[in-house]
Structure 1
């Protein structure tokens, strides 16, 4: 049963105890500057009454009932306007209500709202004494208290489930690495973790922003409360309100029951807004209001709930650039970036790649039932030389494939199994290659992959003769680009990349995102590369 149906059952019980033409249960809500009473259930009143809000100050009868301690009955000649005049069900004319009584309803010592009873007969309530009215009030208070207990238990159950999911998801992974960049990052995390400051976690795709959020939560005073995560990139604008703030039954088509949003589930804990840069602008405005006031209002409900949530946002976008282009609200950016943390890409972490690879090998050998998977010296050198455009996530997937290949080729009888460069799927020119293993992206020249980020421009070139097949491929590419014979390798590579990018942009009608997908590159890296190479027509392109 829903809360609405339980409220209706309570009112039906009241009408079974008192003969009347209409009964209403109204909840007290904070209005804009003054409290209002919102009907949550009516019996005998027109259905439109459920959509009305009655400001207490504007309705003398309701105001007097609110001020009364035990409730009261109004004389038929009281002369005070009745809020229900003309609202009785099946009423043929706008006839005034003649008998009216009611009382405040309290839950946990606070005024929850009002119950009102109305009748057309001015003597209908002659037999209803104070004792019976108080019995009705006690019945309602017990039912409402039970309903709120049920709702609180459901909310706690959802929080416990979120906590259990977080516990099963976290705990097994840590921010490994001894590089100076990772040492600084862990120090920054531990500095801000104990506060309630909002943290903005910045970094490329696959660097481990989620692990940063988990460490922040685990070292905070909120560690025993849920860490709730939501992927903003997967939120359609039509459902974002419901996911973040919940909804009331009937708020929209398909809303068949009340639902708690992520802010309510994270109450007392931490909410991770992953890929926050993908939020539509209308949702950004609503998110800003919650961050400013801590008040959450479910769509379809007039009730405002105060939540205590520590927010961590994560993104791989440059939000300052998004603000400049009008795609992200400046006020929300400043609200989220109270304490920014930058997670370094894997290519800037030096030998951390070997420690991470060792951890992934340990996981895989347990998963595959193998023992003693080891990196050969040549494989270690290959991992250190590679640029890792997909960062730690790419390394994890590559090691999983390499472990399976090594186990398949070596069998299970040996004392230990060596991971060789061939198992990794990296070519000999590891400084510029991407894994030869399964990829859904279209083929791209090795040179273009080398320059997917400007910071890779200084990577040392390998001698093509070390790998005849690789050298032949590169020689063919440069030759087809029309490079003069005396041109150096770097100049020839740049020329080919520029021609390839210009052709790709033209093929896709100037759509940079589509051209980047064909190149198998992140859009921002693709754009930076194109600008570095001097591809024409990009100065004003978003």
Structure 2
């Protein structure tokens, strides 16, 4: 490590301190500078929240690491780092399990990390999180200058302080100018996992409408996470300290819908042994989430509309009205406009509910968010089953990215839960790192692709082509890489950046897929 490269990295971090950028961008550049200044194969910046470390930025670790949550008491290395105000280095033969085992990116085999270094970060004398640096080669950190490392740590803390100051000033600006409050993600971490363009676009829409009292209609396929979006909206609103009350309209018997929503008095009907408060009153000052609103009985819709228009509810069996102040969020997987056209849903109620529509994108349109979500669900299953470490091997990642996900996020969650159970059963007591492979996922094979029939002769027999999942994956990757190369003028480095790959990994991918760049350039 030369003095020049160290100084160069430090200068880049200092320059970033005076630049305005998103927190996630700032932290990614910070890790990039760290890996240039010090030897290592992977680095991570994790935020401490309620005894859990959440990755805010990662370099050299697999994509699914970003979706994980590391409980400190389950990871003794993290606990040691947090208890020390000095950098902590773990020897190659340390008996303490490494939380990153099996998560080094671009390494197919679950190789163990041999050199591990971590430092606790403090802001205003309070523990904020940790910065980690890992290497596969033993003794990689022998030549690190402690003074240089401490200097870099201080710059890291300064960068975090700048990011939080910008965050604080932005919130104050919004408050003082009485504009719609924007829920700025806490340094990039929100309940909604993902950073695909479709998710980012949806989050921008949520930020726009969150602080208002407009009714929101959340639409999307089954399993995309509409309830999670509703919770996000409520948490970002001025009503966050008041209740969020959930009503599943599809689960309510038709004769009990009115009582459930508006409440009833004692003796109002057979079985009403006592008075009951309705969901509208329970949500007073907060948010009422009407899930599966498309299942609301047609006879009940006028009463719901009146409550929304007047803000008054009347308990079943009572002559008195109760004034309520609630914000309505509704959700459905139906095409309510079509339901209105066919007379199965009232047009006036539809327009009252869908003042601000939000479309939740299906999982198949979210790209590599699938791997982040997979990491989140793997971590939940690891903790639930008491396993040391879980990782996705390359075949599993490719299978997850190529599958169509008709059941969306819910299907992904259930599929991974089943796969982890199978993996645990197959591995017995298990080793330090368990690798989840494509065959354990048990994804349906790709459907046969039928050739388009001719419109001139009905006597031909058209064949069907059936491909294995691996063949389909390779075909998809080959087409994607060739298109990217063509777009980048066959510049390998530019194509690698466009695809988010390391140049070395990109060249190996070209070799595996048997792509000749010269042929692509010539238009063959």
TM-score when normalising by structure 2: 0.50
Distance in 2 of aligned mates of 1:173 and 1:394: 21
**1:418-468 alpha-carbon deviations (Å, 9 max, x no partner):** 0011110125x3xx3xxxxxxxxxxxxx45xxxxxxxxxxxxx5xxxxxxx
Q: Does 1:302 align with 2:277?
A: no
User: 2:339 matched to which residue of 1?
Assistant: 322
How far did residue 174 of structure 1 move? 1.6
SS at match of 2:331: strand
TM-score when normalising by structure 1: 0.49
Q: In structure 1, which of residues 489, 513, 517 is the aligned counterpart of residue 464 of structure 2?
A: 489
User: 1:363 matched to which residue of 2?
Assistant: 380
User: 2:249 matched to which residue of 1?
Assistant: 232
How far did residue 226 of structure 1 move? 0.5
Change (3 A) 1:230 1:173: farther
User: 1:407 matched to which residue of 2?
Assistant: 424
1:173–1:211: 8 Å Cα contact kept in structure 2?
A: no
Q: Does 1:390 align with 2:407?
A: yes
How far did residue 407 of structure 1 move? 1.2
Distance in 2 of aligned mates of 1:282 and 1:490: 51
**1:325-374 alpha-carbon deviations (Å, 9 max, x no partner):** 00000000000000000000001111111110110000000000002111
1:213–1:312: 8 Å Cα contact kept in structure 2?
A: yes
**1:79-130 alpha-carbon deviations (Å, 9 max, x no partner):** xxxxxxxxxxxxxxxxxxxxxxxxxxxxxxxxxxxxxxxxxxxxxxxxxxxx
Q: In structure 1, which of residues 350, 357, 366 is the aligned counterpart of residue 367 of structure 2?
A: 350
User: 1:499 matched to which residue of 2?
Assistant: none
Aligned length: 273
Distance in 2 of aligned mates of 1:399 and 1:406: 10
How far did residue 173 of structure 1 move? 8.1
Q: Does 1:193 align with 2:214?
A: no
Distance in 2 of aligned mates of 1:415 and 1:264: 52
Change (3 A) 1:274 1:173: farther
Q: Does 1:272 align with 2:278?
A: no
SS at match of 2:214: coil
How far did residue 175 of structure 1 move? 1.0
SS at match of 2:218: strand
2:240–2:286: 8 Å Cα contact kept in structure 1?
A: yes
**1:209-239 alpha-carbon deviations (Å, 9 max, x no partner):** 0010000000001001100000000111100
Distance in 2 of aligned mates of 1:280 and 1:325: 14
User: 2:174 matched to which residue of 1?
Assistant: none
SS at match of 2:431: coil
1:231–1:275: 8 Å Cα contact kept in structure 2?
A: yes
1:296–1:305: 8 Å Cα contact kept in structure 2?
A: yes
User: 1:311 matched to which residue of 2?
Assistant: 328
Distance in 2 of aligned mates of 1:280 and 1:490: 46
SS at match of 2:250: helix
Q: Does 1:288 align with 2:305?
A: yes
How far did residue 413 of structure 1 move? 3.7
1:372–1:417: 8 Å Cα contact kept in structure 2?
A: yes
Q: Does 1:202 align with 2:189?
A: no
**1:20-57 alpha-carbon deviations (Å, 9 max, x no partner):** xxxxxxxxxxxxxxxxxxxxxxxxxxxxxxxxxxxxxx
How far did residue 484 of structure 1 move? 6.7
Distance in 2 of aligned mates of 1:173 and 1:235: 32
How far did residue 488 of structure 1 move? 4.1
2:311–2:323: 8 Å Cα contact kept in structure 1?
A: yes
Distance in 2 of aligned mates of 1:264 and 1:180: 38
What pairs up with 1:96-175 in 2 under 5 angstroms?
174-175=191-192
SS at match of 2:432: coil
Distance in 1 of aligned mates of 2:429 and 2:293: 45
Q: Does 1:214 align with 2:189?
A: no
SS at match of 2:422: helix
Q: In structure 2, which of residues 436, 439, 454 is the aligned counterpart of residue 422 of structure 1?
A: 439
**1:125-160 alpha-carbon deviations (Å, 9 max, x no partner):** xxxxxxxxxxxxxxxxxxxxxxxxxxxxxxxxxxxx
Q: In structure 1, which of residues 348, 372, 375 is the aligned counterpart of residue 392 of structure 2?
A: 375
RMSD (Å) for aligned C-alpha atoms:
2.2
How far did residue 383 of structure 1 move? 0.6
2:424–2:430: 8 Å Cα contact kept in structure 1?
A: no
* Structure 1 portions without partners, runs of 5+: 1-171, 433-445, 448-460, 462-473, 475-482, 492-542
2:288–2:329: 8 Å Cα contact kept in structure 1?
A: yes
How far did residue 412 of structure 1 move? 3.3
Distance in 1 of aligned mates of 2:259 and 2:223: 28
| Structure of higher CA gyration radius | 1
How far did residue 320 of structure 1 move? 0.1
What pairs up with 1:457-472 in 2 under 5 angstroms?
none
SS at match of 1:288: helix
SS at match of 2:412: helix
Change (3 A) 1:285 1:420: same
Change (3 A) 1:403 1:178: same
1:207–1:392: 8 Å Cα contact kept in structure 2?
A: yes
Change (3 A) 1:343 1:414: same
